[in-house]
Structure 1
Amino acid sequence: MTAATPRPGRRGFAAALAATAAGAAALAAASGRTWATGVIEVAGPTAPAPVELTGADLAPAASAMGIAGLAALAALVAARGWPRRIIGLLMALFGCIALQSVWSGTRPAELARLAAEQATAGGRAEAPGLAAAWPALAAAGAVLLVLSGLATAVRGPSWPGMGSRYDRHSAPRTARADDPAELWKSLDSGEDPTLDPAAPDAASRPGALSAASRRSSPADSRPNA
């Protein structure tokens, strides 16, 4: 017997969640790494001082959009229906902002400007060398946010909720008397596990009603001869 194949909507939802989480994590992880290194030359016998520029220095918006992407991921899990369109558009916007920040922060002119700000008085900063791995990871994370956001904006309202499979029926559930765990669950939900739900209530049995009617009939209230 083969297992049931997941529905396409559930697969799309899971793929969007995975892409959003991967994109936000890539932005957050790459922002704290060193993207560019250089040296500052100072006049005199002082040795050149190294300068390092991290992703937070070069592309501060990318780091912020990574955190925003994680918040959007939590909102996507909790939301249902048309609000997912708004969340998807925001996710795509976060990705675009992060991608633009990565591109502008890695331009040679921007690298030289930021390195010059690190130089002390009388020093001269050389143009830092860019390590392409971490900016590329941040750009890939931004692209993932854009793609998952667009997919959510288009198909999000038709995706099922994550908690729908755990919804319980409103009818009370019969507890098994031989299962202690079920007894405790019944007590927590306000049910009495000692009652037999299969047996009708004493007041609702036809025999009980007829007996009660005979006891309350006028013939029983006449005095004995």
Structure 2
Amino acid sequence: ARIRDDLAARNIDIEGATIVRGGATPTSYISLSRATGSRTIVHYRDLPELSAADFTQVDLTNLDWAHFEGRNPAETEAMIARVATECPGLPISVEIEKPRPGIERLFRLPGDRQTLLIVSRAFAEQQGAHEPEAFLKAFANDCDATLLILPWGAKGAYALTEARELLFAPAHPPETLVDTIAAGDVFNAAVIDALLQGAELAEVLERANALAGRSCGQLGIDGLSETPQASIGD
């Protein structure tokens, strides 16, 4: 009930959420460094991942974009296939956050549509990458997304287009680093929002970096979307 109330207060629709009777709510215990703003997360989960069967209960009408986290790859692949079948042309994006068994099956997204893979720096580094530009070019050989984006934290963000054009935008660190929790999710949301608004790719990266950087300068993310800098075209 507490989680439902928290989501409702932020106007997040949970109509399609699956309630697992007898399940335990996953919890994260976060240690935040006052000195650096970095965090250490201890996560406990005793709840099954969302399944493709669960996802069939989600209404896909009136969607502008379908975004997935790269979890439970086999089930996520089936969810993406449903979107591709029922919603031709709907843009699809997937965040590749960390290595998981079978994660490579999410590198190829179906259909003739805008497709986006957002690959985390942690994933790239766990693949042995040290240079983001070289990693993106090599990774592009294993996927067919129309756009690849690789946020590289305080060193900025990189993108590779379908035409293999490489773009870079510098980071926007806050004056004082307060809290890095959810900065990656803020970046992803800003990217999708900017693309939906038709922004040029260079501006997409710029806006995403700016919003993510601003989130690192405050506790939590409430109020971020209310700032003038959060909207495209200002």
Higher strand proportion, which one?
2
Higher helix proportion, which one?
1
Q: TM-score surpassing 0.5?
A: no
Higher-Rg member (1/2): 1
Report which structure shows greater RCO (CA 8 Å, sep ≥6).
1
Q: TM-score, normalising length from structure 1?
A: 0.19
